[in-house]
């Protein structure tokens, strides 16, 4: 399990980040100021840092000088959308820069991209008796391989990485097929139906009225 340090002084945003990362299979440690973050970086080893710029004690840019020698990748999370701030953050060594407000799906996608770039992608994704190997692209249910199409596999990964999250139909289409979902398209619905059948997930992949679908993680 990969360890991520989230540094954000806004408590509600920090709680949302923590819950989302935990649901996606990461171990998340939180800090609400730069000094506490520096202490945690000294005490523990992390695979990634999500770092706000405007922090009490030590701001994110100053903290970056402390993080850089450790070789830990950093994604800046900040409300500051000024181009100069983005350029400064990237020049200081950040791998990415995400301006608030942001969508959790986008945050998780960027986290995954940076970890993959550093050779730290989570290889095995599990949900109950279903396991997906992201390296070999092999899916098993109760230890038995399940044959999926490319899009069915990509759709499965999207749900496995977002258990309990209600995913909008157009966002599912965008993440799996790319581009905007055509009006009256049944592509997402048909693929969800096939995935339900192949994995015996009739009660697990739930339709969410006027939104899309959710992988039920209540059990």
Domains of the chain in sequence order: 3-117 (3.40.50.2300), 124-215 (1.10.10.10)
Please report the pLDDT score of residue 30 as a whole number: 96
Does the model's pTM come out above 0.75? no
Task: Name the burial class of residue 69, with classes exposed (0-12), middle (13-18) and buried (19+) by CB atoms within 10 angstroms of its CB.
Answer: exposed
Local structure of 167: helix, strand or coil: strand
* Per-residue pLDDT reduced to its tens digit, 137-196: 899 999 999 999 999 999 998 898 888 888 888 888 888 888 787 877 889 999 999 999
Parallel, antiparallel, or unpaired for β 138-141 and 144-146? antiparallel
Count of C-beta atoms within a 10 Å radius of residue 177:
17
Average confidence (pLDDT) over 31-45:
92
For Cα atoms 101, 29, 37, give the angle at the middle one, nearest 5 degrees. Answer: 85
Please report the pLDDT score of residue 219 as a whole number: 57
Q: Please, are residues 203 and 128 in contact by the beta-carbon 8 Å criterion? A: no
The residues facing 212 across adjacent strands are 168, 208
- For 93, residues 6+ apart whose C-beta sits below 8 A from its C-beta are 64, 67, 68, 74
């Amino acid at each position: 399990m990969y360890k991520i340090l989230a540094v954000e002084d806004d408590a509600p945003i920090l709680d949302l980040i923590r819950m989302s990362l935990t649901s996606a299979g990461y171990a998340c440690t939180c800090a609400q100021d730069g000094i506490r973050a520096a202490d945690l970086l000294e005490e523990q080893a992390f695979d990634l840092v999500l770092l706000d710029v405007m922090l009490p004690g030590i701001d994110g840019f100053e903290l970056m000088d402390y993080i850089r020698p450790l070789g830990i990748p950093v994604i800046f999370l900040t409300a500051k959308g000024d181009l100069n701030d983005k350029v400064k953050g990237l020049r200081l060594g950040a791998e990415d820069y995400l301006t608030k407000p942001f969508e959790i799906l986008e945050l998780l996608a960027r986290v995954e991209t940076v970890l993959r770039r550093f050779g730290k992608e989570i290889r095995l994704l599990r949900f109950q008796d279903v396991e997906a190997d992201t390296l070999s692209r092999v899916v098993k249910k109760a230890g038995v391989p399940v044959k999926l199409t490319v899009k069915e596999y990509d759709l499965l990964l999207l749900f496995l990485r977002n258990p309990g999250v209600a995913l909008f139909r157009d966002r599912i289409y965008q993440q799996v097929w790319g581009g905007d979902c055509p009006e009256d398209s049944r592509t997402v619905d048909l693929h969800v139906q096939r995935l339900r059948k192949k994995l015996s997930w009739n009660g697990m992949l739930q339709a969410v009225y006027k939104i899309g679908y959710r992988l039920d993680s209540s059990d």
